[in-house]
Amino acid sequence: MSDILAFDLGASSGRALLGRLTDGKIEVEELHRFSNDPVQVGDRLYWDILRLYHEIKQGLLKAKHQGISLHSMGIDSWAVDFGFIGKNGELIGNPYHYRDRHTEGAMESLFTRIPPHVIFARTGIQFLPFNTIYQLYALKEAKSPLLKDGNRFLMIPDILRYFLTGEMHNEFSNATTTQLFNPIEGTWDSELLRLLDLPRSWFGDVLQPGEKAGSIQPSVCEELGIPSIPVYAVAEHDTGSAVAAVPATEKSFAYLSCGTWSLMGTEVDKPVLHDLALKLNFTNEGGVADTYRLLKNIMGLWILQECRREWERAGESYSFPELVQMASGAKSFAAFIDPDDSLFLPPGDMPSRIAQYCQQTGQQAPETTGEIVRCILESLALKYRQVFELTERLSGQSFNGLHMVGGGIQNTLLCQWTANAIGKSVWAGPSEGSAIGNLVVQWIARGEFADIWEARRAIRESFPITVYEPEESEAWNAAYIRFLTITGVTE
């Protein structure tokens, strides 16, 4: 048996998942789960990075208290966010949350200095207003003291690994999301750093998923009363880990990592950097086993999560299964939103914003809770169809269906409606995709699996996959045409 630990940090919660490999079969057990709540201080929105580190230590303690002998661990998280380590080795300040408003207008401002086509040609990354490059640009424009005092740039998993091991490394899959990494040269882009006046010395060596990133340092071992274990750099962008866990049977496959964000695309050997990829605003993020993830970010279940929070503030508390049940009873195709409209990016009163969007597009706004939820889920499914077809066009492939992984697959209505929308099979599972991908990269590094395809075969044999076949094709095709017309969503 090979017991290892994956820490999987999402935008709203984190978990420590124990992985056990027995006779080629994967077993997982959740040892620890915790909330990940951003903290508003004045006008700034921060991540509570020290709380996350505390929870990681609690996960290690729970393994110890259960008598589990761990062989290694890895950490994955969301992308783009970062912190600075000072010359004295201490973290300077709390990392900003990517939804903080300090980047408003930064992307457009930077484009006046560096044209978008230059940035894309050098990085292959989708243009999103919270990308690391625009966060750093905003800090420079604001003359932030972080940039004066900072000595090393580390992303969220890099920081937490540093706290554990005392070693500072950057990791490939997360580094590519910064829009500062050159996939052709395989390192940080020196020309963009020069144009932004960012010191190259801030950006360290880049480890590939599966490389050892250190071991738990003596001070942490003494504090927790645990032995030292290796800490591996997994695919530390959680989507990279989720794609590693896609139980595909052939090299050509489409995936949807479904959670707070929805990320849809395919796996490619080399980044796709031509003009069509730029026009369609696709991205090329680092993956496992020398691959890239050609994909597009979609706003995802964030909109529903924010609606639920707003209803809770108003004293109406619903579970997600209750919301799905209410949606199933509401009228179909009554109203549509473009989930990627900038209106839905910041936190806040999402039901009012949905009503505002509908009014702006000449639609009757949904009123009941069920109508609002149905509007969100149908719009997501139809958006998935658009991106699915664009992925086929851009990659030059035709996919037999769609693999859905992540916590969002517990929403069976969304899975079925996605199959209806794309008119092809949906294979849903596993739900803990990011954590399982984290685990299998560690096992590959440890020689327990020969490669990612052997690991994917083990995932298929270890976890249930639910198949959804398309239904009501005529109605969904008609709805798709209306969705495109009403939202104005085009290439």
Q: Which active-site residues does the annotation give?
A: 238
E-only strand ranges, 389-483: 401-405, 425-428, 466-468
CA distances from 218 to 3, 91, 224, 225 (A): 21, 19, 10, 10
Measured at the alpha carbon of residue 91, what is the angle toward residues 45 and 155, in degrees to the nearest 5?
70
Q: Are 97 and 346 in contact (CB under 8 A)?
A: no
Residue 46 DSSP SS3: strand
Q: Residue-wise over 202-211: b if at least 16 C-beta within 10 A, else e?
A: bbbebbbbbb
- Name the nearest CA neighbour of 158 among 182, 132, 139, 140: 132
> DSSP character for 345?
S
Find the length of the chain.
491
Please give the Cα distance from 395 to 403 (Å, whole number).
16
User: DSSP labels for 215-281?
Assistant: E--HHHHHHHT----EEEE---BHHHHHHHT---SSSS-EEEEESSSEEEEEEESS---SHHHHHHT
* Tokens 């699996």 found at: 449
- Write the single-letter amino acid at 60: L
- Name the nearest CA neighbour of 374 among 421, 319, 339, 329: 329
Q: Are 301 and 259 in contact (CB under 8 A)?
A: yes
Please give the Cα distance from 458 to 423 (Å, whole number).
28
Residue 487 DSSP SS3: helix
Q: Omega into 430 within 30° of 0, i.e. cis?
A: yes
Residues in CB range of 105: below 8 A, 6 or more apart: none
Please give the Cα distance from 259 to 124 (Å, whole number).
24
Please give the Cα distance from 386 to 316 (Å, whole number).
34
Residues in CB range of 435: below 8 A, 6 or more apart: 6, 8, 15, 17, 28, 76, 241
Please give the Cα distance from 184 to 415 (Å, whole number).
36
